[in-house]
Every structure is written in structure tokens, then in C-alpha cells.
Structure 1
Amino acid sequence: MTWSWKRSIRARYALAVALFSLIVLSALGATLDLAIRYKVETMTFDEAERVASQWSAVARSGDVPRRIPAYAPIDLIQVVDVHQGVVASSKMASATRPLSQVRPPPDDRFQRYIECRRPGHCLVLVAIRLTPAPDSGVVYAGLPEPDVLSTHRLEYVIGAGIALTVAVAAWTTWVLVGRTLRPVEAIRARISEITVSDLSLRVPVPPGRDEIAQLAVTANQTLAHLEGAVEQQRRFASTTSHELRTPITGLRMQLEEAVRYPDDVDPHETIRTALAATDRLEAIVEDLLQLARLRAAEPTPPEQIDLGELVATEVNAQPGRVPAGVRACRALVIRGHRMQLIRVLDNLLANAQRHAESAVDVTVERDGDEAVVAVTDDGPGVAPAHRERIFERFVRLDDSRRRDPGGSGLGLAISRDIARAHNGCLKVEDSPRGARFALRLPLIERLHTPSGDPSINGFAHDDIGDEDLRERLVGTGRPARVQEDRELSFYPPTA
């Protein structure tokens, strides 16, 4: 397999480590090379100066032998007079030709230098003037320049070590990163096999609890959620098509019958039946659009809402088959979308009116950090086995179909989705008689006006009387009273 460093994390990491190692080791290698060269040169000069100083003292006393014994490694020693004549020399030094033409000045008697007579033949020398006198002789001591200083062998050795270290670092990184990414490759290969038609496959989870293992676990959880969502969408599409097909089929049959048998079919009755079927289709489509909007981003930001006022106003404004009473505590402030909450209340009230025998009771109370809106009817109630099932889409119990044949079966499902979108919940709770639907929503801090005064949707309660509050909240002329605990109670009109 051909790996491109731009596409392969493994190659990029190996290249990065190689470059980093090369830069660092090159700097260390250059420093090491300079340090070794300086150390060898300094040690050589120090040794040559020691030997030259020793024979300089002997030369000043006049006891220098013709053949000077050498001191390893300093094997080049000469005593030269003012006329560059060799007075005494070591065995390895010339007896006639001086080692150097350099004569230290009287004010700087010690000289260290490297003299090259031809390329590749250099001498490390120390020249010491015997006295400051003009006719003073000079002592030379030194040796051929060491290979460390005269050649590039040291640089070659250091370079080879750097290259080997960089290669080992790059190879080690390649192997380790490849071993680390092996589970990722297995995950990638498995994900490439997963299709929308088959989401049952899961990625392999490597041993351990590192980041890659957590990634695999998260991927499997996501796949499980995705499989459930797709399966739910499939069931929803199947159920929706069935629910839409039924009224469409009935409508088509009635219209075809009217066309085929115009003399036997009452056209007005056909039109009325077609309109009823159209109303059912419209209700289903509207509910489907509402479900789609709930899953889309909310175009308007949430607002602070006094739940007691909202419920009381909505119950007071809705006509019903049976009387509906409401007891709403004030100053229960939530954050949400007014029209969506009204949709929930309308669904719950319509459901309660459909099943109630004689009365519907609505309460708004505080339960800890939650506001609870309870809609209770005195009808037959909901069996515990069906309390969750009725919130599924298009699910309608027999009693509901009998009481409202034109319903879409989406009202409670939409209401629960709205409750969840407001970080709350909607469920059926136990009740001594009938059904009790409880909407629970989280409370926020007490609502304030721009001036900082407590209020309900802009009505500062401390600045208005009970009559004014009653008129603002009700505004329909229906009887109401304000209790001592500031609980608002609204009663339906009597016959």
C-alpha cells in the first residue's frame, strides 16, 4: 500500500519525529564536535607549553644537550638561536631546519599556533622566547596536528551517529503509531461496511480504556441510537402512510362511486363526506408539520412566562362540552415558547373534554423546583397498561376512536415532544376518578420587570389591586375571585 505523508497520520508523525530528532541531534552533534576539538587542542597546547617551558629554563642555563630527549606525545623539540640556527633538537625534529619562522616578541614571549607548511601537514607548536633581549633564542615544542583536528573523521562519526539515531527514532515512531492506529483502521473498515439498510453492525472495541477505546464505545452508542432512530422513522413512515392511505382511499371510492353512478348517489352527501375526509387529512398533515417543526431549530428565543396566568387565560377562553374550572397559583415563572405551550394545553383540554362526564378540573401548582399543570376529567380514565402507549404516534384507543373518529392520533405525541423540548415531561398520573394528565416544567427565578419589580408578564402585582388583576388576567367577564393566598381561581359560567 502506498502511503502519502499528507494523508497518513503514521507517516506525518514519523516525519515529524525524524525532523525534530535531526534538528536536536544536529545541534547536539555540532556542540559535541566543537567541544571535542577545543578539548584536544587545549590539551595539546598545554602539554607542548609544559615541555617548552621546561627546556626554556635549561636553555637559559646553557646546559642543553645536542640531542634533546622527547616526551610523549611531544616529540618535536628545538632550540633555535637568533639567526634561525638549530642549537639542539629532538630525534624527530630536524637538526638543521627550524620548525617554524615565528619569533615571539619581547613583550609576549609565549606563542601558541598551528603552522601548516602544506595541506594536510600541520604542526601544533608552542614558541617561547628565552629572554626579552634582542639576541634571545627560541624554544619550539610541538607535534603533528592530531587526526581529530586535521581531518573530518570526528564529524563523520557524529553524523553517522545522528543519522542512525534519527532512523531508529523514525522507525520506532512508525511502528508505535501504526500499532496505536491499528484499532482505528479496524473501526474505519467496520464503519465502511455499515449502511443505512443495515445498522446492526458495531465497531470493534480495543482492550483498555484509552481514548481509542472510548471512541469505539461512543461510536457503538451512536450507532445504537442511530439504529433506533432509523427504525423509529421507518415505523413512523409506515404508520403515516397507512393513516394517510385510509382517508384517501375512502375519499377516492366515494368520488368514483359518484362519477360512475350519478343517478344513485346524492352529490351533496358525497361532497359533505369528501369534506370530512379532507378535514381529517388536513389535521394529520398539520400535526405532521408540527412534529417536523419541533425537531427543527426554534426560530424564536424562549420567553419568561407566568404559567398560572397562561393556563387560566387559556382555560377561560376555551368553550367546552362540560364546564372546566381552574385553580392557578401565581408567580410560577417558566422559560418557554408561548404558542407551543398553548398547543399542549389545547390538546390536554380537548382530550379531557372528549372523555369527561360532567366536569374538567385544571390546577397549576408548585412541586419543588417544578411547576405542575394537571388536567383531570371524571371520565373512564386510562388503564395503567395504556398510559405510555397513548403517547405514541397514531395510537388511538377504542374509546377515543368512538368519541372522536376524525382525530389524527398525534396530539398527545406532539404534546409530549413539546414538554421534552421545554426540559419537562408529560405523563398520566394516578387519579381517584377519570384521567389525570400532569405537565411538569422547570421553574426559573421570579419574573422581573425592567425596573426590577416582581411581575407577571409585565403586571406589577404590588401596584395593582385585586379587581385590576382579575380584569387583566381574565378579561372576559367570566366570574373569578382572588383568594387570600393569592391563588387565582376561575370558575366556568353556570347554565
Structure 2
Amino acid sequence: MIVIPYPRSIRARSAMATSVLALVALSVVGVTSSLAIRYRVQDDAFNRVEQIASQWSAAARAGTLPKVIPASGDIELIQLVDAHGRVIAASRSAWARPALSTMRPPADDRVQRWTDRCRLLVAVRITMAADAPVVLAERHEPALLRGHNLEYALTAAALALLAILAWISWRTVGRTLRPVEAIRARLAAITVSDLSLRMPVPPGDDEVARLVRTANQTLDRLDEAVAQQRRFASTTSHELRNPIAGLRLQLEEALLHPGEVDPHETIRSALSLADRLDAIVSDLLVLARLSAGDPAPSELIDLGQLVTQEAPRTGRVPVRVHAASDVWVCGSHIQLVRVLGNLVNNAIRHAGSAVDVSVAASGGEAVMTVTDDGAGIAPADRERIFERFIRLDDGRRRDAGGSGLGLAISRDIATSHGGTLKAEDSPSGARFVLRLPRLGCPPAEEQVERLSTVL
């Protein structure tokens, strides 16, 4: 058994599929055409013979039929045969021959047609009488119908058309896929160490062009993501290096100068540095979970009640809460408490005399505002402070042990809840505004229970 290997090339597969479909279609059309052509050509030939036979039949009825019947083109065999099969009149080619056929049309059907060994024979009864003579006319079957000439001609035409269709398919698919090879070569050259290369965009707006443009946009995003990861890794390494270096220095001093170093003070300082390292690592884990889209359990939350219960009340300045009730949101209680804590603790560090926390509904949003009366934030730094490990000079002076990740984590939590966190204008001090999608109305007790079960 011969096994034809399946082509690996899309171009070859497309050409093969087109050829197979065209072959099936052409086979059906060829068979149908062959039958239709045979019927049509044969019918035309019979009509011509019947016309001549009917013409001499009319002459015989009128008594004007000559003894030697003139031939009519390719119809050379014409005879007038009586009821006993004797030839009464005939064309020159048919005089020396017996009756062309012993068959006679029935009395109720004057005209009969027969096909016999590539001959077309027509018999026409002169009158309806049982013993009426019959005019016989015969011609050879048309050359197109002899043997399989018609089928050979149609097969040759079908094969030629099939070859043309296969060639057109090969050329068309090849032209369409030509940019794909350039894209493949360029993709092979793109590595993680060099994401600056882009694929050539073919002209037009077909599927390949749109695919290439989408792939280039994806590479742009990937390039930016890798650059951010590299910057983050570099900044993280720098931030972790400082407390590790301080811890190493203190431990080395304790070993090299045991008599000059207070061991209790060294341990307390090392524990402080270890706490800072633990805080940085914990914040990094939170950022990693948020960046990975790790969903936290969601529940229905009254944001005003959450702020009233969870807002930090201790600190160097008082925290005043102004929270409206029935401001419902859907989200993670733990994460929203963390956002509140980060914002309030940050405000306490920078406040002069007090911190104000408010919750209100505004249209389709739940708005939480944390405001202090400190020095405020310059407009140029209002987006920069949400970057990871960014700490302004005033923040470093007030809290040297901070990680610089609190605001970045808070914004990521706000984004994961479908909201925003921004530093906005304030008459004095800094003002942070958290906006979250608000549920349309205060849900009834049973509705809260049902939705909480679903969530």
C-alpha cells in the first residue's frame, strides 16, 4: 500500500485541499456535462435524420419520390421499403444493400428511432395503414460520440483547469504567507535580553497585517513589563542591601570589639533591622500577589462602618472620622483595611495637628478621603509617590524605617477593586482620595446574606 505523506507546509496543504475539492467538483461537472453533451449531440443528429426521412416520406405520399433518392449531406443511406422488406427506392449508396432495418414503426406511431453499432436510424411510416411503406434513413454516429472521445476531451480540459487552479492556489497562498517567514525569522531573533526588535508589518489591513500589529503591541507591553521588572529588581536589591549591610556592620563590630559594644543595644538594633527586612519582604509578597491577579475573597462591605471600626486612633496626632452609613462596596475586607491603615499612618507621619478621614457616596462611587494638615505634596510628585520604593525627603526624615511600598500597594489594591487612588488638591496638607464602585442601594438583610453566599 502506498502512503502519501501529509505535507507540513500550509502552502502545500492549501494547494492540495484546493486541488482535491476542485477534482471532486470537476468530476461531478464532467460526468454531468458528458451526459448532457451526448444527449444534445445525439438528439441534434437524430433530428437531422428525421427531417430528411420525413421529407422523402411526404414525397412518397405525393407520388413524387424518385427511384434514386438524392443523398443529403452526411445522410447517404436512404431507402423506401415496402411491407415485405423489399427496397422500392433508395439513394445510390443504399441500392445495393438490403433493407437498412427489418424493424417497422407501429401503426399508431409513424416515427421511430434506433441506435445500432454507432449508427443512427430513423424510420418514418408513409401512412397509418398497416402495409404502408416505410422510409429508412441512416447516418453514422457523430465523431464526438464514438468510443470515449468526449470523455477524453472533458478529462483533458478538467486536468488543465485543475492544474491552473492548483497553481493559482499555490501562488496566492505563497504570496499571502510570504510575510510569515519574515515574521518567523524576526521572532527567532527576539530574546529576553533584547526585546527591542519588532516584526515587519506587511502592507494592507488583512488578517496577517493585523496579527503582526497586535504581536508588535504585545512585544511593546512585554518590553515595558520586563523593563519594569528589571527596575523593580534593581530597586529591591538596593533597598534590601541597606538594612543587610547595617545588620552585618553591627554584628561585625560586636565580634571585633566585644568589650566596646553593648550587646543588648546591638541585639535591639539588629531586631529593628530585621523588622524592617520583614516588612519589606511582606510588602513585596503582597505586591507579587496583586501583580499576579491573585483574587482575594470578596464580600459586601459598608465602607463607612469599616472606616469607623478600623481607622487607627492612636498616634502622635488625633484621627477624626466622618463616615456616612450605607455606602456599600464589594471587595476584600482585609485589603481595604490595609489601604485605610497605609493612608492614615502615612497622614499621621506628615500631619501637623490632626488627620481627617471621611466616607461619602458620590453618584455611582464610594469615596474615602484621608487628609492631613502637613506640608502637602508638590504637584510634580503626586504620581511619583505611588511608585515602588519612592520616598520623598520629608518622608525619609520623619520615618527612616519605612519601606516605600505602602502607597504602591494601596494603589494596586484600589485598581484590583476596579477603583482609583489619587493625591488631589487640598487647601492645606495632603489629600488622598480612594474611589470604588458603589452598589446601587443599601441591600436588605436577606439580600446581603444571599449576595455574600454567592460571592
TM-score normalised to structure 1 length: 0.83
Q: Report the Cα distance in structure 2 between the residues aligned to 1:49 and 1:457, rounded to whole angstroms.
A: 94
Among 250, 255, 258, the residue aligned to 2:251? 255
Runs of 5+ unmatched residues, structure 1: 117-121, 459-495
The letter of the residue matching 1:319 is T
Matches within 5 A, 1:241-280: 241-280=237-276
1:218 maps to: 214
Q: Secondary structure at the match of 2:74?
A: coil
Report what 1:403 is aligned to. Answer: 398
Give secondary structure in 2 for the equivalent of 1:92: helix
Of the three residues 429, 434, 437, the one matched with 2:429 is 434
2:364 aligned partner, one-letter code? D
* Corresponding residue for residue 18 of structure 1: 19
| Corresponding residue pairs, total | 449
Kept in 1, the 8 Å contact 2:79–2:90? The answer is yes
Task: Report whether the alignment pairs 1:309 with 2:296.
Answer: no
> What's the secondary structure of 1:247's corresponding residue?
helix
Provide closer, same or farther for how the CA distance between residues 399 and 84 of structure 1 changes in structure 2, counting only shifts above 3 A: same
* Corresponding residue number in structure 1 for 2:439: 444
- Relative to structure 2, which stretch is displaced further, 19-28 or 352-361? 19-28
CA–CA distance in structure 2, aligned partners of residues 395 and 205 of structure 1: 39
Give the letter for the 1:66 counterpart: K
> What is the 5 A alignment of 1:24-423?
24-59=25-60, 64-116=65-117, 122-130=118-126, 135-315=131-311, 318-423=313-418
Check whether the contact 1:381–1:433 (CA below 8 A) recurs between aligned residues: yes
What is the SS of the residue equivalent to 2:358? strand
**C-alpha contact (below 8 Å) 1:86/1:95 kept by paired residues:** no
Change (3 A) 1:264 1:33: same
After superposition, the C-alpha distances for 1:72-126 in whole angstroms (9 at most, x for unaligned) are 232211122344332222123252322223233444443211112xxxxx21001
Partner-residue secondary structure (3-state), 1:447: coil
Aligned mates of 1:166, 1:32 — CA distance in 2: 16
- 8 Å CA contact retained: 1:447, 1:457: no
Distance 1:63 1:206 in 2: 84
3-state DSSP of counterpart to 2:432: strand
Change in CA separation of 1:109 and 1:408 when aligned onto 2, cut-off 3 Å: same
Q: Matched residues in 2 for 1:198 and 1:399: separation? A: 39
Distance in 1, matches of 2:103 and 2:284, equals 106
Is the contact between residue 79 and residue 137 of structure 2 (CA under 8 Å) also seen in structure 1? yes
Give the AA of the match of 1:39: R
Shift of 1:318: 4.1
Q: Which AA in structure 2 matches 1:448?
A: P
The alpha-carbon deviation at position 33 of structure 1 amounts to 2.1
For residues 332-376 of structure 1, the C-alpha deviation after alignment (integer angstroms, 9 at most, x for no partner) is 222222211111101001111112222111112333432221111
For 1:453 and 1:62, locate their aligned partners in 2 and report how far apart those are by CA, in whole Å: 113
Task: Give the SS at the match of 1:55.
Answer: helix
Secondary structure (helix, strand or coil) at the match of 2:94 reads coil
- The answer (yes or no) to whether the contact 1:89–1:95 under 8 Å persists in 2 is no
Give the Cα–Cα distance (whole angstroms) in 2 for the partners of residues 190 and 453 of structure 1: 55
Contact preservation (8 Å) 2:322, 2:359: yes
In structure 1, give the amino acid aligned to 2:418. Answer: N
Deviation digits for residues 275-329 of structure 1, max 9, x if unmatched?
Answer: 11111111011000000111223344533322222222212x6432211111122
AA of the residue aligned to 2:9 = S
The Cα of 1:380 is off from its aligned counterpart by 2.0
State the one-letter code of the partner of 1:77. Answer: I
- 2:54 aligned counterpart, secondary structure: helix
Counterpart CA distance in 2 for 1:83 and 1:195 is 101
- The separation in 1 between residues aligned to 2:337 and 2:92, in whole angstroms, is 117
- RMSD over aligned CA atoms reads 2.7
**AA at the equivalent of 2:145:** L
Letter in 1 for 2:17: A
Q: Structure 1: how far apart are the matches of 2:445 and 2:173?
A: 60
Report the Cα offset of residue 413 of structure 1. 0.7
- Secondary structure of the residue aligned to 1:339 is helix
Q: Is the 8 A contact 1:391 1:416 kept in 2?
A: yes
CA contact (8 A) 2:368 2:433 kept: yes
Maintained 8 Å contact 1:304/1:447: no
Assess, with a 3 A threshold, how the Cα gap between structure 1 residues 71 and 184 changes in structure 2: closer, same or farther.
same
Gaps of 5+ in 2: none
Secondary structure of residue in 1 paired with 2:274: helix
1:384 & 1:285 partners in 2: Cα distance?
A: 30
Q: Distance in 1 between matches of 2:307 and 2:328?
A: 12
TM-score by length of 2: 0.90
Paired residue secondary structure (1:84): coil
Deviates more, 1:270-279 or 1:14-23: 14-23
Higher normalized helix content (fraction of residues):
2
Are the aligned partners of 1:49 and 1:141 in contact in 2 as well (CA < 8 Å)?
Answer: yes
Supply the AA of the counterpart residue of 1:49.
E
- Quote the residue 1:491 is aligned against: none
In 2, the alpha carbon distance for the partners of 1:448 and 1:367 equals 17
CA distance in structure 1 between the partners assigned to 2:281 and 2:228 by the alignment: 19
Q: Which amino acid aligns with 2:431?
A: R
Identical residues among aligned pairs (%): 59
C-alpha displacement at 1:268, in angstroms?
2.0
